[in-house]
C-alpha cells in the first residue's frame, strides 16, 4: 500500500494497535510431560504420550525450566512477578487440542505490568506490556482431499504441549511501523535470552494483532479486528497497513466494523474474514485442578535475574559509551548477540591504539560487506566461514597500505566462498597494492590517451572528469592502485598536457 494512503487514514483517524505474541520456549521436554520437544525432523505423532493426549487418569507436572524462562522474559520486559501464580483451563473443541482444553493462565499469570522500548524516528517510545503468561501449544493440522475432491484434515500432535509463552501488549502502538518495530525488538530480546529460536517463518514465534480506528481526540476504543497469519516482520506491517485502510473505507461509507478474526493472505496482500470471534466467556476458564499453585519466592526471581545475559538495549548503550558508535550502528550491532560478539571480537583483534577508530572500521565491515555475503548465502554469522581475527587481519592490511580497499573486498568475497583465510590468499597470490610510481604513471598515460573527451572536460574545468579518469586508472590496474596515490600523478599529467 502506498504511504500516502496510510497518511490519508492517519489524517482522519488514530490507528490503535495491540499485539499478542506467542513464542515456543526452548526447553528439551514439553510443558507438562516428558515428551521430547525436538520433533522437527520426525514423523507425525511420534512425540506424544498419555499426558499431552489428555488420557483419563493422567496428571500433568510443570516443567521448571519453562517457568524460569518465563521469569527471564518477564524481568527483561520490566514486569512485576506476582508472589502467587496459577494455571487455568481454557475450554474449547478443536481437533488440534487433544484434551478439549488448553492449560493456560487466566487471572494470575506469572508476569504483569511491564514495558518495552522501541525507537521510532530516532525517539524512544515505551510500549506497555500487559502480561506474559505460560501455556501449551496445540497440534498441527494438515489439509488434504480424497480422489473425489472431498476435503479432510490430518492431525499431528507432536507440537501439542510444547511450552508456549504469550506476551500481550497494551494498545499503545499508533502505526503499523510501530507494530513491526515492537515485534523486532521483542524477538531480539527473546533470542538474546536464549529462550526462543525466534523463527516467524517456521511458527516458533507468532504474532496476532488487534487493530482499531478512532477519530483523533476520541478516548474510547473503536471496534477492533484481530489479524492472524502474519509470518514475517514485513507481513506484520503490510497486513496492518491494509487493515487500517480497509477499516477506514468501511467507516467512511457509514458502515460499522464487525469484531472478527481476519487472516492475512500474503500472496494477495489482503485480510479476509475467518470467523466471528467467540466471547471470552465461551472459553469457560476455571482453575486447573491438577496443578498446585506456584508460590514465587523472591530469591527464586533474584537468582534468575543474576543469571540474565546482557540485553540489546544495555549492549547498545555500552557500544555507544565504549566505542563511540553512532546510535543507529550501535542499535543494529547490539540487536543480535552473535553479531555483537563478532563485532567486538573484530574490534579487539584490530591493531592500533584508537579504539573508536578500530570499532568504526569493524562496524563498517561487519554491517557492510560481511553482512551482504551472509545475507546472500542465508548464513548465520555464527557459521561465518571467516573468523573475526581473519577479518581484522584483512582490515589491518588495508590500513597499513599493503592492499587497497577494493582488493580487500575481492579477497573477502573469495575467502568467503573458498573458506580460506584472507591472509592465505594474499600470500599465495602475492596481492599487493601498487604504489610504485612508474607503474601508476604508465596507467595514467594510458587513461589520458584513450579518453580525450574526459581530458577536454577537465580542461574546461569539469571536476568530475578527474574522478572518471581515476576510475579508469583503477580499472587498468585491476584495483591494485590506491586512489590517493593516483590522484596527484593524474593531475600532474593533465596539467602538463594543458601547458
Partner 1 sequence: MELTRDEVMRIAQLARIKLTEEEVTSLASQLSNILGHIAAMQEVDTSGVPISASILPVTNVMREDAAEPSLPIDEALANTPEREDNFARVKAVLE
Number of residues forming the site for partner 1 (CB under 8 A): 53
Our CB check for partner 1 shows the closer of 37 and 192 to be 37
Return the C-alpha torsion angle 128, 186, 328, 406, nearest 10. Answer: -170
In angstroms, how far is CA 215 from the centroid of its own chain? 33
Our CB check for partner 1 shows the closer of 288 and 344 to be 288
Structure-block grid coordinates of residue 412: 573477502
Q: What track of x and - describes contact with partner 1 for positions 59 through 88 (by CB under 8 A)?
A: --xxxxxxx------------------x--
Secondary structure of 80-149 in HEC code, one letter for each residue: ECCCEECCEEEECCCCCCCCCEEEECCCCCCEEEEEEEEEECCEEEEEEEEEEEEEECCCEEEEEECCCC
Q: Minimum distance from CB of 230 to partner 1 (Å)?
A: 14
Report if residue 280 touches partner 1, rule: CB under 8 A. no
Report if residue 34 touches partner 1, rule: CB under 8 A. yes
Q: Which stretch binds partner 1 (CB under 8 A): 16-24, 175-183, 290-298, 383-391?
A: 290-298
Q: Minimum distance from CB of 37 to partner 1 (Å)?
A: 7
Our CB check for partner 1 shows the closer of 288 and 369 to be 288
DSSP 8-state class, residue 232: S
Our CB check for partner 1 shows the closer of 114 and 161 to be 161
Report if residue 301 touches partner 1, rule: CB under 8 A. no
Of 224, 204, 269, give the one whose Cα is nearest residue 39: 204
Q: What track of x and - describes contact with partner 1 for positions 94 through 123 (by CB under 8 A)?
A: xx------------x---------------
Structure-block grid coordinates of residue 180: 513491526
Q: Which of residues 125-144 bind partner 1 (CB under 8 A)?
A: 141-144
Q: Which of 12, 36, 117, 126 binds partner 1 (CB under 8 A)?
A: 36
Report if residue 393 touches partner 1, rule: CB under 8 A. no
Our CB check for partner 1 shows the closer of 287 and 389 to be 287
Report if residue 48 touches partner 1, rule: CB under 8 A. yes
Report if residue 272 touches partner 1, rule: CB under 8 A. no
Q: Minimum distance from CB of 53 to partner 1 (Å)?
A: 7
Q: Phi, psi (5° rounding) for residue 447?
A: -65, -40
Q: Minimum distance from CB of 108 to partner 1 (Å)?
A: 8
Q: Phi, psi (5° rounding) for residue 433?
A: -70, 145
Q: Minimum distance from CB of 151 to partner 1 (Å)?
A: 4
Our CB check for partner 1 shows the closer of 83 and 436 to be 83
Q: Give the orientation angle of helix 452-459 with respect to helix 483-498, to 10 degrees.
A: 80
Of 222, 213, 277, give the one whose Cα is nearest residue 246: 213
Q: Are 219 and 341 in contact (CB under 8 A)?
A: no
Q: What track of x and - describes contact with partner 1 for positions 401 through 440 (by CB under 8 A)?
A: ----------------------------------------
Report if residue 197 touches partner 1, rule: CB under 8 A. no
User: Are β-strands 123-136 and 163-169 bridged in parallel, bridged antiparallel, or unpaired?
Assistant: antiparallel
Distance, in Å, from the CA atom of 330 to the CA atom of 263, rounded to the nearest integer, reads 36
Q: Which stretch binds partner 1 (CB under 8 A): 6-14, 91-99, 309-317, 487-495?
A: 91-99
Provide DSSP, 135-196: EE---EEEEEE-TT--EEEEEE-TTTT-EEEEEEE-S-B-SHHHHHHHHHHHHHHHHHHTS-
Q: Which of residues 209-268 bind partner 1 (CB under 8 A)?
A: 263
Distance, in Å, from the CA atom of 333 to the CA atom of 341, rounded to the nearest integer, reads 9
Q: Minimum distance from CB of 94 to partner 1 (Å)?
A: 7
- Exposure pattern of 138-162 as b/e (b: 16+ CB <10 Å)? bbbeeeeeeeeeeeeeebbbbbbbb
Q: Which of 24, 29, 347, 472 binds partner 1 (CB under 8 A)?
A: 29
Q: Are 481 and 433 in contact (CB under 8 A)?
A: yes
- What is the binding site for partner 1 (CB under 8 A)? 27-29, 34-38, 43-50, 53, 61-67, 86, 91, 93-95, 108, 141-144, 150-157, 263, 274, 282, 284, 287, 289, 291-295
Amino acid at each position: 500500500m502506498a504511504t500516502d494512503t496510510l497518511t490519508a487514514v492517519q489524517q482522519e483517524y488514530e490507528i490503535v494497535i495491540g499485539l499478542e505474541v506467542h513464542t515456543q520456549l526452548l526447553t528439551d521436554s514439553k510443558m507438562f510431560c516428558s515428551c521430547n520437544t525436538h520433533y522437527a525432523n520426525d514423523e507425525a505423532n511420534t512425540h506424544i504420550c498419555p499426558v499431552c493426549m489428555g488420557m483419563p487418569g493422567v496428571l500433568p507436572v510443570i516443567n521448571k525450566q519453562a517457568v524460569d524462562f518465563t521469569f527471564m522474559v518477564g524481568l527483561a520486559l520490566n514486569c512485576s512477578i506476582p508472589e502467587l501464580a496459577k494455571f487455568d483451563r481454557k475450554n474449547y473443541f478443536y481437533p488440534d487440542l487433544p484434551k478439549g482444553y488448553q492449560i493456560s493462565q487466566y487471572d494470575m499469570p506469572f508476569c504483569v505490568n511491564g514495558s518495552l522500548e522501541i525507537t521510532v524516528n530516532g525517539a524512544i517510545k515505551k510500549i506497555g506490556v500487559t502480561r506474559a503468561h505460560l501455556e501449551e501449544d496445540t497440534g498441527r493440522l494438515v489439509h488434504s482431499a480424497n480422489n473425489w475432491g472431498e476435503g479432510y484434515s490430518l492431525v499431528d500432535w507432536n507440537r501439542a504441549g510444547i511450552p508456549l509463552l504469550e506476551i500481550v501488549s497494551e494498545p499503545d502502538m499508533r502505526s503499523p511501523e510501530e507494530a513491526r518495530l515492537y515485534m523486532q525488538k521483542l524477538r531480539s530480546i527473546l533470542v538474546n535470552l536464549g529462550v526462543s529460536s525466534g523463527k516467524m517463518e517456521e511458527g516458533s514465534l507468532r504474532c496476532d494483532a488487534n487493530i482499531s480506528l478512532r477519530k483523533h481526540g476520541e478516548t474510547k476504543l473503536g471496534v477492533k479486528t484481530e489479524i492472524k497469519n502474519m509470518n514475517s516482520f514485513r507481513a506484520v506491517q503490510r497486513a496492518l497497513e491494509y487493515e487500517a485502510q480497509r477499516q477506514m473505507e468501511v467507516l467512511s461509507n457509514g458502515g460499522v466494523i464487525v469484531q472478527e478474526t481476519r487472516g492475512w493472505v500474503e500472496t494477495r496482500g489482503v485480510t479476509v474474514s475467518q470467523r466471528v470471534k467467540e466471547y471470552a466467556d465461551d472459553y469457560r476458564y476455571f482453575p486447573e485442578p491438577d496443578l498446585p499453585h506456584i508460590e514465587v519466592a523472591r530469591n527464586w526471581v533474584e537468582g534468575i535475574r543474576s543469571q540474565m545475559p546482557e540485553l540489546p538495549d544495555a549492549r547498545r548503550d555500552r557500544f555507544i559509551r565504549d566505542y563511540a558508535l553512532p546510535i543507529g550502528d550501535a542499535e543494529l550491532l547490539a540487536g543480535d548477540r552473535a553479531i555483537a560478539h563478532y563485532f567486538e571480537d573484530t574490534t579487539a583483534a584490530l591493531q592500533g591504539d584508537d579504539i573508536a577508530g578500530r570499532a568504526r572500521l569493524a562496524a563498517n565491515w561487519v554491517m557492510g560487506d560481511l553482512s551482504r555475503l551472509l545475507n546472500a548465502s542465508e548464513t548465520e554469522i555464527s557459521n561465518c566461514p571467516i573468523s573475526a581475527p581473519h577479518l581484522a587481519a584483512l582490515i589491518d592490511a588495508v590500513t597499513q597500505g599493503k592492499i587497497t580497499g577494493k582488493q580487500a573486498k575481492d579477497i573477502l568475497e573469495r575467502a568467503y566462498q573458498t573458506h580460506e583465510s584472507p591472509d592465505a590468499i594474499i600470500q599465495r597470490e602475492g596481492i599487493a597494492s601498487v604504489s610504485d610510481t612508474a607503474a601508476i604513471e604508465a596507467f595514467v598515460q594510458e587513461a589520458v590517451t584513450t579518453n580525450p573527451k574526459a581530458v577536454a572536460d577537465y580542461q574546461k574545468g569539469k571536476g568530475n572528469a578527474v574522478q572518471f579518469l581515476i576510475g579508469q586508472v583503477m580499472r587498468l590496474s585491476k584495483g591494485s592502485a590506491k586512489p590517493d596515490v593516483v590522484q596527484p600523478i593524474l593531475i600532474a599529467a593533465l596539467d602538463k598536457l594543458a601547458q
